[in-house]
Structure 1
Amino acid sequence: MTKKTIAIFDFDGTLTTGRSSRLMFFKHLVGRSKLFSGLFMEYCQHGMSKLNLFKKTSRGAYLDNFLLNGFSQRELRFQAENFITHILVNHIRKEALERLYFHQKEGHICMIISGALDIYLKPWAKQYQIEEVICTELEFDPITGKSTGRMLNPYCLGQEKVEQFKKLYSNRNDYIIYAYGDSPHDLELLNYADHAFYKCFN
């Protein structure tokens, strides 16, 4: 049986020029002042948790809850579309897109595995006919339709990228994998691939 080829791209810093599309989206959503306030409070909370003075949570979880809690799904989708059209478009790496197009022309399965938020990443990926997106998904209250500020799944970083991939493609021997990444959060996935590319677009 001929093996299928899968091309996996990280998003932040690989397909984009910025290190964190999440922070760019937050700045667009709530403004610079509230974002900086959230980052400062997150820093303080993280420090207190180290001293056992505060309930321990991940730094990302605290900021997400502070900035996203209470937004309606409709409003977040609207803001995500604006973010994609007016901001994110200016941070996409041309060389990375060319590599994506190459894999698509070859008939390879193309996917993104990223810690970025689904609210903007999935609509962006749809524009480029990317078949699969594994990312961090926002939770919405089923009654009010508003964001709870929490995530439905663990942040898709490090080994979590590999574990989420395995849920879709469990038989490793059936596939040839190309993986593209740029940070320590991508190393487990790169090690899992047949062909790994680290910071090749930088």
Structure 2
Amino acid sequence: MKKFAFFDFDGTLTRTDTVLPFLKYACANRADYYAKLLRQSPVLLAYLLGCASNLRAKEAVFTEFLAGQKWDAVQNVAHDFARFRLPELLLPAGMQVLREHQARGDFCVLVSASPEIYLHEWGRINGLDAVLGTRLQVVAGCLTGRVDGENCHDWGKVRRIEAQFGTNCWANSVAYSDSAVDLPMLQQAAQGFLGKKGQFVRVQ
């Protein structure tokens, strides 16, 4: 059986969060982006202070930026973002670890709280075997701004992995993240590594 290698995305394979850069990329102009961000600053501040959940902040921002837009149009923008903008945000040290696992033939899975709408295209381009991210709700061909199903965050990552690959996937597996929020995933894996800027330290 192939060895599973699970990778967080933002901060692990990239130098920064990718959600706001994506939303900025999707905006018609810079002034529009900052105006929308300003309107959602109270909930973002509440999230940073621990007074609002990741899901609440995420849905507030997605509703502001994406609600009512056609799925096909946003997906086209997301694909362009994955092809042309994300390469500028990658973290070389983290990508080197991914490439080493790919070279060994491990089953490499991207597991991210960021939206699948651009992660799937990035994963396809970069040879990932599977991509698990937060899904965006679509009704009648348009985005609602809500999350479809569970937010792929914290223990949500563990549940998504097990739903996709079964509980036996953790045997002889390895997982990487830059955030303590992902400790559930790191501790479920046979080997979990927590790091900053590509320098990973084993947590178990």
DSSP-derived class of the 1:17 partner: coil
Deviation at 1:26, TM superposition (A): 0.4
1:1-202 to structure 2, matched below 5 A, reads: 4-18=2-16, 20-30=17-27, 31-44=29-42, 58-141=56-139, 143=140, 145-172=141-168, 175-199=171-195, 201=198
Amino acid at match of 2:185: L
Deviation at 1:139, TM superposition (A): 1.6
Structure 2 segments unaligned to the other structure (5+ residues): 47-54, 200-204
The verdict on how the C-alpha distance between 1:59 and 1:103 changes in structure 2, with shifts beyond 3 A counting, is same
TM-score after normalising by structure 1: 0.84
The verdict on how the C-alpha distance between 1:9 and 1:173 changes in structure 2, with shifts beyond 3 A counting, is closer
1:4–1:175 Cα contact (<8 Å) kept: no
Q: Between the two proteins, what is the percent identity of the paired residues?
A: 26
Amino acid at match of 2:156: E
Deviation at 1:184, TM superposition (A): 2.5
Cα distance in 2 for partners of 1:80, 1:187 equals 29
| Cα shift readout 1:133-172 (whole Å, capped 9, x = no counterpart) | 110111222x3x1111112122211111111111123233
2:170–2:188 Cα contact (<8 Å) kept: no
Deviation at 1:45, TM superposition (A): 5.0
Deviation at 1:59, TM superposition (A): 1.2
Q: How many residues align?
A: 189
2:171–2:190 Cα contact (<8 Å) kept: no
Aligned-residue Cα RMSD (Å) equals: 2.1
| Consecutive aligned runs of 4 or more in structure 1 exceeding 6 Å deviation | none
Structure 1 segments unaligned to the other structure (5+ residues): 49-56
Bigger radius of gyration, 1 or 2? 1
| Cα shift readout 1:62-90 (whole Å, capped 9, x = no counterpart) | 11111101211221122112212321110
TM-score after normalising by structure 2: 0.84
